């Protein structure tokens, strides 16, 4: 059932859910990939002392992060940072060691394998961190890579022409990757902002600005939907509520106090109904409550509880003088083959009887004539 707080989902919620799924896939794929490479290098005898620590460490980080995020979705922020920092540090330490080796880079298995894995650091940065942090982390990794290249040249390690070309091309490729990922993050930001703006516009179009309740437009759509689709076994009910002598409040205490009364009544009605029910400001001092399902005498008990709750509201002016607030309620249960407008009309007639019977009371509408 439509609720005022659930009219639309924000774009941020959708992106957070998608981000969690992406990160889960990344961690799951990371475990499988590292295990496969670890096994292949063990068969070929290419595991060095750093890899003996790095591969088990990466598997442990990936696995722990996957389990933590899967079982506890709210730890997404911490898991992202721990996973990113752990994997990145392992790869950067390995990079530092490889660049200090006095051997040509072309054809060196360890160097080429490491450079193939380095883009993972940039991808993780932009997929698991906040945009500003991601850009700073990717720029820092790129600078570190460049510093390693400069360190290799300044340390007197022989540079083959092919090595120099390979290093320059790799740096350029990494820089282009960072630019592309930055553009993707910017696009995500634009989509998020536009989605949140659309959400706010839809929310403004469907809610009353003073009370925050659903407005007349949204509630009319809901009434028509219930009249058309709701089974009569659920016994849907509408309650049309009107504040008694509200004009006296505006005339005697001012419109500011009148608004304060409306907000207090709206809060009381929302707090006294179920989450599945819809409370709407119908117009002026009128409120409409839509109950999609009721049982037996439950409706009369609820209406009386609402009336008493509003009557007991402690609303006072600036001089602490109490402002009297009472409520008249007209109740109508949906009948067979009844339209939303007919259903609402019967509730209005019941409210009119409550007004004529002295106000501050509840009246149930008569069934429609066959």
Confidence band, pLDDT 50/70/90 cuts, at residue 359: very high
| Domain identity same for 132 and 277 | no
Name the domain boundary from 203, 226, 258: 203
DSSP secondary structure letters along 293-358: ---TTHHHHHHHHHHHHHHT---B-TT--B----EEEEEEEPPTT--HHHHHHHHHHHHHHHHHTT
**Residue 18 has what pLDDT?**
66
User: How far apart (Å, rounded) are the C-alpha atoms in residues 81 and 76?
Assistant: 9
**Residue 167 has what pLDDT?**
72
Domain of residue 68, residue span: 4-203
pLDDT single digits (tens) 239-259? 999 999 999 998 888 899 999
| Domain identity same for 180 and 243 | no
**How large is the C-alpha radius of gyration of the chain?**
33
| Domain identity same for 107 and 36 | yes
**CATH number of residue 271's parent domain:** 3.30.70.270
Average pLDDT of the chain to the nearest whole number: 79
In a domain, 102, yes or no: yes
Confidence band, pLDDT 50/70/90 cuts, at residue 266: very high
| Domain identity same for 155 and 285 | no
347, two tokens: 């509730």
Distance of CA 208 to the CA centre of its chain: 22
| Domain identity same for 228 and 264 | yes
**Burial zone of 39 (CB within 10 Å; 0-12 exposed, 13-18 middle, 19+ buried):** exposed
Nearest-CA neighbor of 170 among 117, 134, 133, 132? 117
| Domain identity same for 196 and 233 | no
In a domain, 211, yes or no: no
**Residue 310 has what pLDDT?**
94
Q: What is the pTM of this model?
A: 0.53
* Cα atoms in the Cβ-side hemisphere of radius 13 Å centred on 131: 12
In a domain, 304, yes or no: yes
In a domain, 244, yes or no: yes
User: How far apart (Å, rounded) are the C-alpha atoms in residues 46 and 27?
Assistant: 25
Name the domain boundary from 147, 173, 203: 203
In a domain, 317, yes or no: yes
**Residue 39 has what pLDDT?**
78
Cα dihedral value 12, 14, 16, 20, nearest 10: -170
Nearest-CA neighbor of 149 among 107, 96, 109, 106? 96
Check if the beta carbon of residue 197 is closer than 8 Å to that of residue 313.
Answer: no
| Domain identity same for 162 and 224 | no
CA distances from 124 to 60, 80, 84, 130, 143 (A): 17, 8, 6, 11, 17
In a domain, 209, yes or no: no
**Residue 129 has what pLDDT?**
74
**Residue that has been written with the tokens 């002392």 in this structure:** 49
Residue 214 gets which letter from DSSP? B
The catalytic residue among 233, 285, 301, 349 is 285
| Domain identity same for 152 and 220 | no
Of residues 79 and 153, more confidently modeled: 79
**Residue 185 has what pLDDT?**
75
Check if the beta carbon of residue 276 is closer than 8 Å to that of residue 293.
Answer: yes
Of residues 100 and 360, more confidently modeled: 360
| Domain identity same for 188 and 220 | no
Q: In the predicted model, is pLDDT for residue 189 greater than 80?
A: no
| Domain identity same for 235 and 353 | yes
**Residue 112 has what pLDDT?**
65
Active site residue 285: yes
168, two tokens: 């320059």
| Domain identity same for 220 and 164 | no
**Residue 259 has what pLDDT?**
92
Name the domain boundary from 176, 203, 230: 203
Domain count for the chain: 2
In a domain, 250, yes or no: yes
**Residue 101 has what pLDDT?**
65
User: How far apart (Å, rounded) are the C-alpha atoms in residues 10 and 195?
Assistant: 7
In a domain, 37, yes or no: yes
| Domain identity same for 185 and 261 | no
């Amino acid at each position: 059932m439509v609720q005022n707080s659930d009219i639309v989902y924000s774009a941020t919620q959708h992106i957070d859910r998608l981000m969690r799924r992406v990160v889960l896939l990344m961690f799951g794929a990371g475990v499988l990939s590292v295990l496969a490479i670890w096994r292949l290098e063990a068969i070929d005898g290419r595991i060095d002392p750093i890899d003996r620590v790095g591969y088990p460490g990466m598997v442990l980080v990936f696995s722990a992060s996957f389990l933590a995020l899967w079982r506890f979705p709210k730890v997404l922020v911490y898991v992202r940072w721990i996973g990113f920092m752990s994997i990145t540090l392992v790869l950067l330490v390995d990079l530092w060691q490889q660049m200090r080796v006095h051997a040509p880079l072309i054809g060196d298995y360890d160097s080429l394998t490491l450079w193939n894995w380095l883009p993972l650091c940039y991808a993780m940065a932009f997929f698991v961190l906040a945009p500003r942090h991601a850009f700073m982390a990717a720029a820092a990794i790129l600078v570190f890579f460049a510093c390693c290249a400069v360190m290799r040249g300044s340390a007197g390690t022989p540079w083959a022409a092919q090595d120099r070309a390979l290093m320059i091309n790799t740096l350029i490729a990494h820089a282009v990757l960072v630019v592309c990922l930055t553009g993707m993050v910017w696009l995500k930001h634009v989509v998020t902002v536009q989605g949140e703006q659309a959400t706010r516009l839809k929310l403004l179009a469907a809610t009353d600005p003073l009370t925050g309740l659903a407005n007349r437009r949204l509630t009319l759509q809901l009434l028509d939907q219930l009249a058309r689709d709701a089974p009569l076994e659920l016994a849907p009910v509408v309650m049309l509520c009107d504040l008694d002598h509200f004009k006296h409040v505006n005339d005697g205490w001012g419109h500011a106090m009148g608004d304060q009364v409306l907000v207090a009544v709206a809060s009381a009605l929302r707090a006294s109904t179920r989450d599945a029910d819809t409370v709407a400001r119908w117009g002026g001092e009128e409120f409409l409550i839509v109950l999609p399902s009721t049982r037996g005498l439950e409706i009369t008990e609820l209406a009386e509880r609402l009336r008493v709750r509003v009557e007991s509201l402690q609303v006072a002016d600036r001089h602490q003088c109490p402002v009297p607030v009472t409520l008249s309620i007209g109740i109508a249960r949906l009948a067979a083959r009844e339209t939303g407008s007919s259903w609402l009309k019967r509730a209005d007639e019941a409210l009119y009887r409550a007004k004529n019977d002295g106000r501050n009371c509840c009246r149930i509408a008569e069934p429609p004539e066959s």
